[in-house]
Amino acid sequence: MQEIVIVVGAGTMGAGIACVAARAGYIVELIEPDAEARERGRARIERDAERGGDAASLLARIRWSDAIPERSEASIAIEAVPERLELKRRVFEALARAVAPRALLATNTSSLAVGEIAAGIAGGDRIVGLHFFNPPVAMKLIEIVETAETSDDALAAAHAFVGRLGKTAVVTADTPGFIVNRVARPFYLQAMRALERGVASVDELDALARGAGFRMGPFELMDLIGLDVNLATSESVYERLGAERLAPQAMQRALVAEGRLGRKSGRGFYDYANGAPERLDLVPTDVPAEKIEECITVIGFGAAADLLADELEARYTDVRRVENDELLDEIAPETTIAIDVGNGIVDRTEILAQLDTLLAPEAIVFTDAYVTDLGAASRRMKHPERLVGFGVLGSLESQRVIEVVDFERSSDDALAVAQELFEALGKGVVLVEDVPGLFLGRVVGSIVNEAVIAVQENVATPDDIDLAMRLGVNYPIGPLAWGREIGGARITTILRRVASDDGEAFAPHRALWVLDTEQESESGELDIVMEHPVL
């Protein structure tokens, strides 16, 4: 006998879920009381089925109905009705009466607590969340939400169902935003904070995000999702979690109040009056083949300095290294550009002051602006106009656009040299204001931090968090893997600087250090952290 799945609600999500289940061979009882919604749902399913080339067999497996039946042989029931607690509870009560006691009951809620929907429903241990992503036909990920009551059998049934649909499951605790909607919040919120601080323009910030590997920048993505929908998710996660670092932004509320909702209203962060605006593409297309004459010295140790020196060697005639601060006074006097990478963690003010005395006055000095306070460093220099701050967050290889600080004391010449140098390496450049964390340090650092906090709060395993963010929102790499690549200590330094400016709510979680260390610790404090190693 073929297995039956009940899907309640044939809206955006229900119609998609029905299509996916029918395609996997289930008989689907699709329940939709609203005649118009039924027609829209039918049209949507037909369209999806035709695209998949299995329309006839798929449509034959879907049985429409306008109410939950008294009795059903279904082994799984999923509700996808509007996001209202009382409505969902009523639907669950009816489903619990209709299906066998062992059948799995699931809700597709995005923002309500599954445990609250399930409270008092007969057989609450067979209730889970099955959080599909929009559109269900295309999105690979399903978050299985486990409540305090969920039985192992129900969890196993949920896994088996997701597997049969050909989707990938992650398991999440019943906490606000589950994995994806929570860990993704800083992408939007920190981007808006950066915009508010005037770090750069909307299209430049989006270009920086794409250059770091995100498929879309935060602003074009919010415009696509709908600013109102995105704001509602932020508000719901914030209200339920109460964490100040995830507070919704006044800027977004104002845009929503004005009716600037994004693409669907013709205007959001961008204007769509003449169609989608062209994306800013800063990555140079042709890099000249001949080497450029310049004597460049890279100061620093570790993989970041090695990689930078290698890339520079391919493009410049004379590239040297100073791999140890102790050897700084051996720097070649003919150096025209000194690039200080340091260890990516410790402020370089002292070293920059020394370099200033060792180099010819016209030599330019680059430093890592994520960790060094350019204002303080420049005050120690006789030639502050030669100082340029830049940011390569993790690996130079994976960052196609570099932020260069439009620092008030940097000369135009120094900024032009920085632009030329990064373009010679095939990178785009965005000039950004001197705000702690710049843009990518603040945004990516805060995402990694949120993922680490989620691990500490038992939301999910590190592997599931990374998988969820790759499949649910197309991140180029999971946030914990990204954190390991950048380094927990480096992110800690960056977020410390952000917190010194934006407030303690934005401080790094102490468990970020765990990204860098496999050491077992004897100390009480670290032991708490090590209960949930993120490695």
Distance between CA atoms of residues 233 and 247, nearest Å: 11
- The catalytically annotated residue of 110, 234, 236, 378 is 110
Pick the closer one to ligand NAD by CB: 174 or 502.
174
Q: How far apart are CA 170 and CA 454, in angstroms?
A: 14
Q: Which class for 119: exposed (0-12), middle (13-18), buried (19 or more C-beta within 10 A)?
A: middle
Site track 33-52 with ligand NAD (rule: CB under 6 A), x = hit: xx--x---------------
**Residue 58 phi/psi, 5° resolution?**
-65, -50
First to last CA, the chain: 45
- Catalytic entry in 32, 72, 79, 131: 131
Query: Measured between alpha carbons, how far is 130 from 143 in angstroms, rounded to an integer?
Result: 6
Residues in contact with ligand NAD, counted by CB under 6 A, come to a total of 22
One of 3, 46, 73, 83 touching ligand NAD (CB under 6 A): 83
3-state secondary structure of 340: strand
Name which of 81 and 298 has its Cβ closer to ligand NAD: 81
Helices 440-456/479-486 angle, 10° precision: 120
Starting at the earlier edge strand, list the strands of the sheet with 76-79.
Answer: 62-65, 27-31, 4-8, 76-79, 104-107, 127-132, 141-146, 168-173
Separation CA 457–CA 446 (nearest Å)? 16
Closer to ligand NAD at the Cβ: 133 or 475? 133
- Minimum Å gap between C-beta 8 and ligand NAD is 5
- Determine which residue in the list 39, 51, 54, 134 makes contact with ligand NAD, applying CB under 6 A: 134
Of 2-10, 148-156, 329-337, 456-464: span binding ligand NAD (CB under 6 A): 2-10
H or E stretch including 130?
strand 127-132
Active site residue 201: no
Q: Which residue, 110 or 493, has its beta carbon nearer to ligand NAD?
A: 110
If the CB atoms of residues 31 and 170 are measured against ligand NAD, the closer one turns out to be: 31
Q: How is residue 195 written in tokens?
A: 């915009």
- Helix, strand, coil proportions of the chain in percent (round to 5)? 50, 15, 35
- Least CB distance to ligand NAD at residue 11 (A): 2
Q: Is 181 a catalytic site residue?
A: yes
Active site residue 151: no
- What's the closest the beta carbon of residue 44 comes to ligand NAD, in angstroms? 10
List Cα–Cα distances, 239 to 38, 69, 247, 422, 452, in angstroms: 34, 36, 9, 43, 20
Is the Cβ of residue 234 or residue 378 nearer to ligand NAD in the bound state? 234
Q: Determine the residue with CB nearest ligand NAD.
A: 11
For position 143 contacting ligand NAD by CB under 6 A, the verdict is: no
Residue tagged active-site, from 72, 108, 181, 446: 181
Site for ligand NAD in 87-126 (CB under 6 A): 91, 108-110
Write down the least CB distance from residue 15 to ligand NAD, Å. 8
Q: Is 110 a catalytic residue?
A: yes
Q: Which amino acid is at 296?
A: I
Q: Which amino acid is at 480?
A: L
Q: Which stretch binds ligand NAD (CB under 6 A): 45-53, 77-85, 203-211, 287-295?
A: 77-85
Q: 409: which residues sit within 8 A by CB, 6+ positions away?
A: 374, 378, 384, 385, 387
Minimum Å gap between C-beta 67 and ligand NAD is: 8
Window of 78-86, 278-286, 461-469, 488-496 that interacts with ligand NAD by CB under 6 A? 78-86
Give the other-Cβ count within 10 Å of 87's Cβ: 14
Question: Does residue 413 touch ligand NAD according to CB under 6 A?
Answer: no
Q: Which residues bind ligand NAD (CB under 6 A)?
A: 8-14, 31-34, 37, 80-83, 91, 108-110, 132, 134
Which residues are part of the catalytic machinery? 110, 131, 143, 181
